[in-house]
Each structure stands twice: as C-alpha cells, then as structure tokens.
Amino acid sequence: MARLFQASTASALEKGHYDYTISIEYFLRNGDTGIGTYNGHNGEAIFLDGIAYNGCASGEVKIMDYPQTGITFGAITKFENEVPEIPIENITDLETLKKLLNEQCQSMGPNYFYVAKICGHFNQVTVTSSYKQRKPFRPLSIVRKEMRSYTYKDLDGVLVGVYAPKFIGDISFNGWCLHFLSKDKLKGGKLVEMSSPALKVKINSIDKWEIKLSNSKGFIAESFGEEKEEPAEKPIEKVEAKEEVVKIEVPAKEEIPVEKIKKTVKKTVEKVIEVAPSVKTDVPSEPVEEPVQEKVEDKVKPKKTSTKAKKETKTEDKE
C-alpha cells in the first residue's frame, strides 16, 4: 500500500489558518497526485502527474511555479496507475458518485485512506474557488460565502479525490473531497456538482499517513478541540406526594379596655357635633306637623261661685 502525505489539518483550515505550511517543491517530493489549497487559501490545488495546477477564482487554471508560493493545506501520494479500472455509469449527481465510491471503499476496507483518479466525459460540472485571503484571516465558513462558482457543460476531464475514514475526525478530509481539471487544463476547481453518462475509476488504498504541521504563530497559539461542553441533563427525580397537615396559628384577638372604648366613642361624637353644623345637605327635611289647636268650644268652662258662698267663706276665715 501507498503513503499519504498531508500538510496542516482540516480543522486549522476551518479556523482560518491560511499561512504557509510547506513549499510546493517539498510537497511534490512526497507524491504526484492529490489536492489542497495554496498560501492564503489562494484557489484550489490539483496535483496531477507531478504538476501543481491552481483552479483560480477568476475561472482560469494556472501552473504554480515552485518559488511562487507554498501550500496551506493538502494531501498527496505517489499514485499507482497499475490498478484495476472500475467502470461506473449513469452518474446523475455528486451524491451518486460518492455513493458508488463509498461502496468500493467498503469492499476494500472502510478504515483506510484512499486516493482516486476518475476520468471520462462530463455532461455538466460545477466547480468553486476562492480569491487569495489577506490578514487578518477569517474563518473558512465566511470565505465559503464569497467563493466564485463556474458551471461547464459537455467536456472531458479528470477528478482527483482523497478519502479519509470517519475515525480521523476533523484532522483530515470528511469522507470524499474531489477537485476537477479539464482535459485541456483550462478549467478547474473544487467539485460541487456534476453528472456523467460513464466514468472510469482507479483507486489506491493507503495504510500510511504522515502530517506536516504549520509553524505559523496563529497555528501554534490556537486551541483546537476546546469546545464548550453543554451541561449534562439531570435525571428527573420522582417525588412521591405526601399528605401534610399544615397548622395555621391564628393570633388571639386583643381585648380592648372598656374605658378606652368610651373615650374613643366620646371623641367621635364630639367631632361629629363640630362638623355637623357646617355640613350642607340637599336631602329635604321631613315636614313638621303643627300642633292642633284646641277649639274653645271643646274647653270646659270654669263654674261661677255665688256671692252667698263667698260670704260664707270669708266668715269662716274670720272665725
């Protein structure tokens, strides 16, 4: 089996570490077929037959001279062409292609790395690429939104793909990552969609993996894998309902002395008397019934005393 040489990590690329990791010249000493990106995340790299191509955001494809720039992130191997060619047909989209490739990986062993070369005619190909980034670098999630996409129809070309097993995590690629280069070497970039009537596939199994990490200050100071852990959910405790007797103590009524009540009543009455004359009321008072005068006729007239009786009275007084 072959060996895969990798520059930097996928997690570093995601966090925006686009600094120089390794020169193109040294990178190509470790293989002739692979993919990646250049210093500053400048375009999409396609390494084919020992030549470094760049699928630029402008839509062009350039050959990268050794002293011109370096590699930010990439993976490469010395591809063994003397392997069985696997024909596949009716590839309607990228997901279908990845599914067919995964079936081959499962049969060969799902826990290995793989590098594939896929040649043929394409009905349609859509690729994407980014312009070179300037410092301070932004995360790849932001850069992706600004990438340029190009769609080409009815052309011949080759796909170069690298596969990393799931247990590798975010150190390398997530499953298959594929880059496209047209047969005339004028169109290329990272593959985002495609369709083809038939393709020919060659796959190399890889059981050796080597990584060259970046020496940039940003990479050295970065804290990878330190994500905030969400607090574990506490199990719900079963609480048994219990009957509880609640005692409520009512304070006893305060006994008020009789003398205090009398004084309070007296003061209240005095206030009412003071206020009463000044209070005007619109309530009509009840009519007062006038006393009924007695008729003179109804009075009993006093009896007249006779002269004889008067005389007798005077005589008795003298005696």
Q: How confident is the model at residue 236 (pLDDT cuts 50, 70, 90)?
A: low
Quick one: which of 61, 74, 84, 54 has its CA closest to 8? 74
Instruction: Give me the amino acid identity at 293.
Output: Q
Note the pLDDT of residue 57. Answer: 97
> What are the start-end ranges of the H helices in 189-248?
217-221
CA–CA distances in Å: residue 51 to residues 7, 72, 74, 218, 316: 17, 17, 14, 30, 179
- The beta strands (E) that lie in the chain are given as 2-7, 22-23, 33-38, 42-48, 51-55, 61-63, 70-77, 86-91, 113-129, 148-164, 175-182, 188-212
Question: Is residue 296's pLDDT more than 60?
Answer: no
The lowest-confidence range among 127-141, 177-191, 291-305 is 291-305
CATH of domain 2-221: 3.30.1330.80
Taking residues 87-105, what's their average pLDDT? 97
In 54-155, where does DSSP find H-type helix? Answer: 94-108, 140-143
Instruction: Return the half-sphere exposure (C-beta side, CA atoms, 13 A cut-off) of residue 220.
Output: 4
Q: What is the dihedral of CA 289, 292, 293, 296, to 10 degrees?
A: 170
User: Taking 80 as the threshold, does the pLDDT of residue 195 lie above it?
Assistant: yes
How much is the CA Rg of the chain, to the nearest whole Å?
55
Site of tokens 């309902």: 241
Distance CA 88, CA 169 (A): 29
Parse the chain into domains and list their residue ranges.
Answer: 2-221
Q: Given pLDDT bands bounded at 50, 70 and 90, which one contains residue 232?
A: low
